[in-house]
Structures are given as structure tokens and as C-alpha cells.
Amino acid sequence: MKKRKIALIISLFIIFLTGSRILWLMVFNNTDQPHAVKGQMDLRNWDFNDGHAITLDGEWEFYPNNWLISEEKHLESTKNAKYIQVPKGWSSTLQEGEITPYGYGTYRLKLLVNPEDNITYSIRVPSIRSSSELYVNGRRLAKSGEIGESAEKTVANNVPFTSSFEANGHQEIEIIVQASNFKDPRDGGIVRSIKLGKEDIVARETQLSINMQQLIAVVFLLHAIYAIISFFVGNMEEKRLLYFTLLSISSMTYFLIGRDDKLLSYWFPINYDWGFKLVHLSMVGIGFSLLHCIKHWLPQHVIKYIRWFSIFCGIASLLAIVLPTRYLVINQGIYIMILAISTVITILTVIRESIKEIKSNIFLLLAILAFGNNLIWDGLLLILGIKVIMYPFDIFITVACLAILWFKGYAKVLSDTKELAIKLQKTDKLKDDFLANTSHELRNPLHGILNISKAVLEREERVLSDKSVKDLETVLSVGWRMSLMLNDLLDVMSLKGNNSKLNFKTFSIHPIVSGVLDMLYVMREGKQIQLINQIPENFPKVVADENRVIQIVFNLLHNAVKYTNEGEVTISGHVKNGMAEIVISDTGIGIDEETIQHIFEPYEQGTLSKAMIEGGFGLGLSISKRLVELHGGILQVNSVVGKGSEFTFTLPISNLPDEENATENESLQSSEKEQSTVATSTNLLDDQTEKHPIIEANRPRVLVVDDDPVNLRVIETILSIEKYDLVTVTSGSKALEILMSQEWDLVISDVMMPNMSGYELVRTIRQQYSITELPVLLLTARSQSQDIENGFLSGANDYVTKPVDALELRSRVKALTDVKQSAQERLRMEAAWLQAQIQPHFLFNTLNAIITLSEIDIERTSKLLEALSDFLRESFKFQNIDELVPIEDELNLVRSYLYIHKERFGERINVTWDLEVSTDVMIPSLTIQPLIENALKHGILNRVDGGNIHLRIVDYDTYIEITVSDDGIGMDAATMERLFVRKSETSTGIGLLNTDLRLKQHYGEGLRITSKPNQGTSISFIVKKKEKSKQFKRELMVK
């Protein structure tokens, strides 16, 4: 019954669509109008006031390869006329015994009208291939393109036009159409019906058709804009929105250029060829996007062919762009096939899916049926040559069905969201209960671990090695941190359940602040921060729970210390509106507005912003806010990103001189948390400095970045048994600083760090190094696909989730260091191999020059042979390809190379030497010669008169700058970008790409190129002095 119902709905809908189309044809297509017979149409009995225009179909006189009206003679002889059906091409009539669309000719039709009718007529010409002129009673009314007797004299431009005229009392109106076609291989002549009628009627019907097409185009454009905005604003992973955008734009283009009115040709200067190409491109776009919009519904055995279909569409699009019109027409069936295949598959697929779930997909089914119906009818009318006013209702129905479908989807999402909110509230309560129970259950085993570890450390400290003692201290530090987090969880559960009771009493807040600052002093982790207590000793006493106030102050100050790298953390107080107002300010990184909106919510942690909360559960500020509110105060925050933050909370002031003996309520004790905090800070004291071991040669160099000294200690312990040179730093900025001191094989970075996250650090590294030049391994506490994707998009090579598994970390570190060393070896071998490639034509030309000179000048021949010998000797030195050589050796190679070319090209080459450098400077081998070779081959020698090359070397304190400039032909920006794209492995010459990569390996900076077309090129690079570089390394290791 369900299938019958679906079949009935589809059948009724198709009948409705077909009936509407037929009704439209009946209204706007005159079947009882007169037809032309032997070049004459009798309209004396036709009522031009019936509201419709007529088509001038029938037999017209036709004069192949002849003009009836020309510049030499107004009206040529009308003998030897043939008769041809209009609308129809002239291929079979133009040449005797030959079928060809190319040629020219004249159409002639006589209209018999009532001379008494005082009517202004209009004639509408939709399509005459491929250029035409319209004459009425010998007077030219309009033209499209330029007609001619050959392809050279013809300018193709087939656009519709309308012209008006009057009979002026004549009973006979002569219509002459002169046309030529040397462009379109389909057919030439009048291929669409010409309309005639009263001026207002023709104008009305034409404008109605144009308005319908414009309205449809606007509808498609609005949906394309809606889809693309939804993609960028909403879910960028929903690729179907992009395909729907392409579908809308392609359909809009098809309606604007593929219909007879060709509206796009009026708005933009589109020539005949591109108008034809756009039609075919839009057909491919419709077919391609249709299949991809329903790809998720296709069977698996069909999906595997979608890739080939997409490639086929791409090839078809390319052919549509590059092929001339005449060849494109030959393959027109391909584009019709693409459109037909995608339409049929889409309709069948949607019908199948609708059968599965008719309630949710019925409107999508109806939309596809309406769209397919429109395409089929358009194709039929195009083939049959029937011209009627644009029929818009299929498209309107399609859009209406899609709109209803989207609104239904939105309503369902809204309903599901409400249900989900209720479920989330229940789940949140279950989560709170679970965390509370888990926290209670974990306390006992955790305390057991801590107590046993502490006992072992105290008992066996004298017999344990220093490394074992350090490891046990790390275990204690991590355990105390976990204890703090469990206490926070229990606090949250207690505060949520309103089970927290406060023990109010009167006390001074100054000594409490001093004690908390003492606890935090050892937790600064080496940061250059001043902790300042500006609360005076005589500050008024407050009425509060002392232990809870300690907890509030500790949480806020600890948060300030955590996100302040240098500067001050200040706590001050004053009285305002009868309340004590305590202000904690810092000069840290600040908090952005978005984070401030939810910073006091439980479990909230920044993930990518600079104000992110690294580590823990993100409960400290939430607990503090709740505790302040239980005391009758408020907690607020003001912050400016990059300048610092200011947290302010209020407490009630005591109005009595002494309330120390006031009645105490039951309170939650926080002494355990205070003790654990002190223990944590004590154990962290020895970890606050960065470690810079002595670097040994030929061992992989690994840089570890983490703001947590405990994590650094764990990684160092895991990798200590491997042969790595390990350096640890506590911030991304310090990592970037030390990266410039020497060459590194691997960077291991935590993702969640204040100031600069791991993602930002990787992105910054990737601006200088590729993924093979410097691999990066990210450490992340979360393993969700979104976090992993963000890491790879940032440029990371791999990731490891925390807590780190030792075997996994060692394996991944080894793999990545092997990748780096393999890349280095490949670059070295590539440079050595390319170095040996002596270009044959260079060698042959040089030998030819030697032979020629030997007959003229023996002395010059000897010098040229000596220069060639020096050049070849330097070119075959493989052993120094990865080492530094004296700059004088490189300059000698350049001198030999330039001498050879100067002997060959004479005055076309002028070289200026501007050298300000000592001969003991060391540079990478073969770095200047490739620049000279580039300046010659691609610069000055491309000019007939040659040009000038300027080699300039400037000696600065810590580096030298080498610049090779020429006044050759230069290059544009696109060419400069391609210089550093790796091409064929068989390219000869050292090449700029290899030179650039080797310079980056040595100095972290490659070639700098400036050039403009016809203004020359300048290429420069810097060489850091070896002594300065070593001193820079020593200074970093001391810090």
C-alpha cells in the first residue's frame, strides 16, 4: 500500500507538471495561424488584436550565396529563387549536391496585409546563425554581427533583437533576412521561429519571457548565496553546500545564456564562442553537482565510479574551454550525456530513498521531479524548434519544495534540540554523581601511593641513585597535583548540592594574603614575576570562613601567576559601599571577551586562545565564584588582551571591634589542600630551570617544549636511554629563539601552553621549515579527531596522547628523526648529483670556442683552456658538497665560469665586482655560482645587447650579505613562485631550489629574490659568521 501511495503521488505530480506545460503551450503557441507558402504569407484575414504574436513559419524564398540587397545595388535580381522551410537550417540547400552549414544567403518573405489597418508591427528575431541583417521594404531595421561572403569578412554574433515598422498604406510588406555563417558547424540560417505582431503584444510577450528568466536567475543566485554563507558560517565540513552552490550557479548560467533571449549577452560582452562554451560548462556543472549532492545516498558499488565521472566532467570542462566552437559541437553529445546520466541517476536515487522514508523525503522527491521535468521539456522544445514564452513554474515548484524541506528540517532540529537539552541536563547530573563517587574512590589509593612513595624516599634516600630520587620526587609531585584536582571535584559537587557550610568569624585578611604569597613564591617556575601584597596591615577585618577565603585567594593568585610570564602580580584592597573589595591584578597575557563570558563556568578551559587554562579540570575560578557568592559578595573580571587581567571580589566587613568568639558553624576543612599545595610547590622548585646539555656531534638533536617542568622531566626520563641530544624549554617563544642557534632534528611540543599554544608554535615553525626539514611531534591530552586534525592542519608530523606511553614515544621519536636525516641525505645526494651534471651544450660551445680561438689567438686559447680546467675541477668536488668552503674558492669558480662565457659572448657580458669581505670567511659550496648562472641564462643573455651583472659582498659584524643582480629581462611574481617548486628529478644544474634548501639548513634563511619584468633581477642571501654563531650557542646554553 505504501508503494502504491508513492506511485500515486509521483504519477499525479508528473501529470500536473506535464498538464501545466501543455496548457502553457496551448496558450502561447498558435497552431491555427497562417503559414508561408512559396515565399508569401496572407495575413489579411488575421486579427492582430487577439493578444498573441504569430510565427513566420513556412516556405520562404531563399537565395543561396547571394545578396538581394548590397552596397552596389539596392535590390538584386530575384530570379533563381529556391524555397526553404523556416525555421530550419540551410545545410542541405546552400550548395548543390553538398551538405554544409557554412556560407551565406538571403531569405525573402512577402506579407499580405490590409492597408486600412493602422498598425505598428514588431518583429522578434531570436536566432539566426551566425550573423544577420533584417530589412523591411528595403530599409534595414536591425543586424546582429557583421555578414560577409567569407569567414574573414564575417563577425559572428547571434543575439536576439526586436524591430518595429509600419505598413504605411501598403498591402504588401517585404521582409528580407541576409545571413552568413562561417562559425557554427551545427547549421546556419534561421533556426528559430521569427515572431510578428502588434508592437505592444510582441513587447509584452518578450518582456514576460525576460522577466521570467530574470526571476529564475535571482532565485538561483539567492540560493547559491545562502548555501555558500551557510558553508562558511556554519559547517565547513558539509561539502554538499558547495555542490549545491555550484548547482545553483550552473543552472542560473544555463538559463541566462542557453535560452533564446540570451540575457547574459546583454549584460556582459560575451562573444559567440564563449557564449557557446558557457552553455556546455553549465551543463557539466549541473551534472557534476547533482551527483555529488546525492552521493551519500548512492550504493557503494556506484560511489566508486563517481571519481571517474568527476574526472570525465573535468576533462569535458577543459575541452569546452580550449576547443574551437566547430570541434566542440561535434562532441556536443558528450555534454548531453553527462546531463542525462546525472539527471536519471538523481531521480532514481531520490525515488529509492523516498520509498525508504517517504515522510521525510517526499518534498525532495517532488523537487527533483520538477527539476528533471524542466530539463526534459527544454530539451524537447529545443530539438523540435518550438518557441514559446519562458515557462518558469517547474523551477518555482522545485525551489518551493526545497524550501519546505529545509523548513521541515529546521523544525525537526529545533525539536530535537529541546529533547537533547533535557537529556543533557539528566546526563550532567549523572556526570556530577559519577565524578563525586570516582573522586571519593580514588582518594584512598592515591593517598596510599603518596604515603608509600614518601616513606620509600625518606627511608632509602641515601642508598638510591640521584636519578631514582628524582623519579620518586616526580611521582610525589604528580600525585599531589592529582589530589588537588580531586579536592576541586569534591568542592564542586558540594557547592552544587548546597551542602557547603561556612564557619564565619572575624579575622584580618593581610596575614592570609602573606601566607598564600609565600606558598606561591616557589611555584613561579623560574618566571621573573614580582608578587606584591598592597593590603595594609590595618585593613578592616572581614566576616567570613577563613579557610574558604584562603582557598579563594590561592585560586585567584595561582591563576594570575600561571598566565604571567614576567612583570607583577599585585593584590590590593579597599573599602567600598560597606564591603571589603579585594583586587588581584597581573601584567600577564590577558583574557579575550569571548573567554570572559564563560570563564566562571565549571569545566571551562580555553583550547586555542592565548588565555587558555592548561591542565586540571578548569574548576578553580568556578569554585571561587561560588564561594564568594556564599559569603554575600561578587567576583568580577576585567581584562585587556596583552596587558593583563584584574579579578575583584568582595567580602562583608566586621562592624564589631572583636568577633573572634562568634558562633561557629560547621565548615569544610581545606588544610589538606593547603598541605598538598605546599608539597607540590616544593617538589617543583628544582624543575624550574631549563636544561641545555652539551651537544654531541652526529646524534639526533631534539628540542622539547612544555610549560610544565614535570612533563619535561617525564619526557627526559623516557628518552634518556636513547642516544639523543635533548634540550628542554618552557615556552614557545624560547623554543623559537633557540631554534635559530643550531640545526635540530625534531621538536616535541605540548599542545596546551599559555601565551603560545603548540598549534601556533607549529604554524610559526612551518613558516621557516617544511615537514621534512624539521619534524614536529605534538603531545595532546585529548585524542578527539578534531584535535588531531587541527594538529595536522597546523603542520605537525605526528602526535602522542598523554599520559605518554614510553614505548610509543620512543618509536615515534625514532621514526621522525629518521625522516629528518633521510631528507638531509637526499638533499645532500641531490646536490652532489646535480653538481656533476655538466650541460652538454655548455661544454660543446666552450670547446667550439677553444677550437676557433686556436686558429686566431694561442694565448687566449690557453687562458680559456685553463679556465675550463678550473671550472671542471671545482665542479667534480663531491666531498665538500655538505661542508663550508672558503669564499675565495667559490669566487674562483665564479671567475672561471664568467671568463668562459665572456670569451664566448664578448661585450654582451659586463661584470662588476664589489667585494668587501676577507678571504677566511666560510660559505656553503656552490651557492654563488648558481646565482651567476641564473643571471646569465635567464637574465642578460635573453637580450640581444646583453647586459650587466653586479656581484656585491658586504661584510657586517655577525654576517655577510651576498647579492647577485642583473639588468636582464626580469620576471613576474608567478615565475618567482615557481622557482621554489620542486620539478623533475632530472633537471640539470645545481638550481635555485637546491641552493635555497641548503642555505636554510645552514642558516635558517634561504634566498631573497626581487624582480620585475624588463627591470632585472636581484638575488641575495646572508651567511652568518661561524665564530658569532658558536658564541650565540654558548650564551643560550648558559641562560
Our separate counts of H helices and E strands in the chain read 29, 32
Q: What share of the chain in percent tops pLDDT 90?
A: 9
Q: Assess whether pLDDT exceeds 60 at residue 1037.
A: no
Q: Tell how far CA 253 is from the center of its chain.
A: 26
Partners of 856 in the beta sheet? Answer: none
Local structure of 956: helix, strand or coil? coil
Give which of 826, 716, 723 is closest to 770, Cα–Cα: 826
Q: What is the mean pLDDT of residues 27-32?
A: 71
Would you state the pLDDT for residue 833?
Answer: 58
**How would you classify residue 137: left for phi > 0, otherwise alpha for psi between -120 and 50, otherwise beta?**
left
Would you state the pLDDT for residue 261?
Answer: 67
pLDDT in tens, 506-544: 888 887 787 677 667 656 666 788 888 898 888 899 999
Q: What backbone torsions phi and psi does residue 144 show, to the nearest 5 degrees?
A: -135, 115
Would you state the pLDDT for residue 781?
Answer: 60
- 234-238, 317-321, 384-388, 896-900: which has the highest mean pLDDT? 317-321
pLDDT confidence bin for 488, thresholds 50/70/90 = low
Q: Which residue type does 10 have?
A: I
Q: What is the mean pLDDT of residues 939-949?
A: 86
Q: What is the mean pLDDT of residues 123-131?
A: 88
Alpha-helical regions (H) of 106-235: 199-233
Q: What backbone torsions phi and psi does residue 930 show, to the nearest 5 degrees?
A: -60, -30
pLDDT in tens, 164-221: 998 887 889 999 999 999 888 888 899 888 889 888 888 888 888 888 888 888 888 8
Count Cα neighbours of 175 within 13 Å in the Cβ-side half-sphere.
27
Q: Assess whether pLDDT exceeds 50 at residue 632.
A: yes
Supply the mean pLDDT for the chain: 78
Would you state the pLDDT for residue 966?
Answer: 92
Burial of 1035 (0-12, 13-18, 19+ CB in 10 A): exposed
Would you state the pLDDT for residue 485?
Answer: 67
Rg (CA), the chain: 42
Q: Assess whether pLDDT exceeds 80 at residue 919.
A: no
Q: What is the mean pLDDT of residues 553-557?
A: 86
Q: Assess whether pLDDT exceeds 80 at residue 871.
A: no
CA quadruple 547, 549, 553, 555: dihedral sign: positive
DSSP string spanning 947-974? Answer: EEEEEEEEE-SSEEEEEEEE-S----HH
Please, are residues 177 and 144 in contact by the beta-carbon 8 Å criterion?
Answer: no
Cα separation, 365 vs 351, whole angstroms: 6
Would you state the pLDDT for residue 123?
Answer: 92
According to DSSP, residue 996 is labeled: H
Q: Assess whether pLDDT exceeds 50 at residue 765.
A: yes
Q: Assess whether pLDDT exceeds 60 at residue 545.
A: yes
Would you state the pLDDT for residue 830?
Answer: 60
Local structure of 159: helix, strand or coil? coil
Q: Which residues have CB under 8 Å from 892's CB, separation 6+?
A: 870, 874
Q: Assess whether pLDDT exceeds 70 at residue 404.
A: yes
Q: What is the mean pLDDT of residues 118-143?
A: 89
pLDDT in tens, 266-305: 777 777 778 778 888 998 998 899 888 888 888 888 888 8
Strands, E, within 146-188: which ranges? Answer: 161-166, 172-181
pLDDT confidence bin for 1022, thresholds 50/70/90 = confident
Would you state the pLDDT for residue 326?
Answer: 74
Q: Are strands 58-64 and 161-166 parallel, antiparallel or unpaired?
A: unpaired
Would you state the pLDDT for residue 850?
Answer: 66
Would you state the pLDDT for residue 853?
Answer: 57
Domains belonging to the chain, first-starting first, are 34-206 (2.60.120.260), 271-356 (no CATH), 420-500+668-688 (1.10.287), 505-665 (3.30.565.10), 702-833 (3.40.50.2300), 866-1034 (3.30.565.10)
Would you state the pLDDT for residue 988?
Answer: 40
Cα separation, 592 vs 607, whole angstroms: 13
**How would you classify residue 567: left for phi > 0, otherwise alpha for psi between -120 and 50, otherwise beta?**
left
Higher pLDDT, 920 or 508: 508
Higher pLDDT, 658 or 769: 769
Q: What is the mean pLDDT of residues 98-118?
A: 88
Please, are residues 52 and 195 in contact by the beta-carbon 8 Å criterion?
Answer: no
Q: Which residues have CB under 8 Å from 845's CB, separation 6+?
A: 904
Q: What backbone torsions phi and psi does residue 19 show, to the nearest 5 degrees?
A: -60, -40
Partners of 570 in the beta sheet? Answer: 532, 585
Would you state the pLDDT for residue 436?
Answer: 67
Would you state the pLDDT for residue 984?
Answer: 47
Q: Which residue type does 1012 have?
A: K
Q: Assess whether pLDDT exceeds 70 at residue 464.
A: yes
Q: What is the mean pLDDT of residues 709-721?
A: 83
Q: What is the mean pLDDT of residues 731-745?
A: 84
Cα separation, 708 vs 753, whole angstroms: 9
Would you state the pLDDT for residue 618?
Answer: 57
Strands, E, within 182-314: which ranges? Answer: 189-190, 195-198
> Picking from 232-246, 368-382, 518-532, 837-851, which range would have the lowest pLDDT averaged per residue?
837-851
Q: What is the mean pLDDT of residues 21-26?
A: 84
Other beta carbons less than 10 A from residue 594's beta carbon:
11
Q: What backbone torsions phi and psi does residue 953 show, to the nearest 5 degrees?
A: -125, 120
Q: What is the mean pLDDT of residues 749-770?
A: 79
Q: What is the mean pLDDT of residues 577-605?
A: 82
Please, are residues 729 and 735 in contact by the beta-carbon 8 Å criterion?
Answer: yes
> Picking from 69-73, 468-472, 815-819, which range would have the lowest pLDDT averaged per residue?
69-73
Would you state the pLDDT for residue 134?
Answer: 94
> Picking from 232-236, 364-368, 683-687, 695-699, which range would have the lowest pLDDT averaged per residue?
683-687
Would you state the pLDDT for residue 291?
Answer: 87
Please, are residues 94 and 44 in contact by the beta-carbon 8 Å criterion?
Answer: no
Q: What is the mean pLDDT of residues 794-812?
A: 84
Give which of 891, 897, 904 is closest to 861, Cα–Cα: 904
pLDDT in tens, 141-179: 999 889 998 988 888 888 888 999 988 878 899 999 999
pLDDT in tens, 820-851: 777 777 666 665 555 555 455 556 566 666 66
Cα separation, 993 vs 991, whole angstroms: 6
Q: Tell how far CA 566 is from the center of its chain.
A: 37
> Picking from 76-80, 259-263, 428-432, 563-567, which range would have the lowest pLDDT averaged per residue?
76-80
Would you state the pLDDT for residue 156?
Answer: 86
Q: Which residue type does 878 have?
A: F
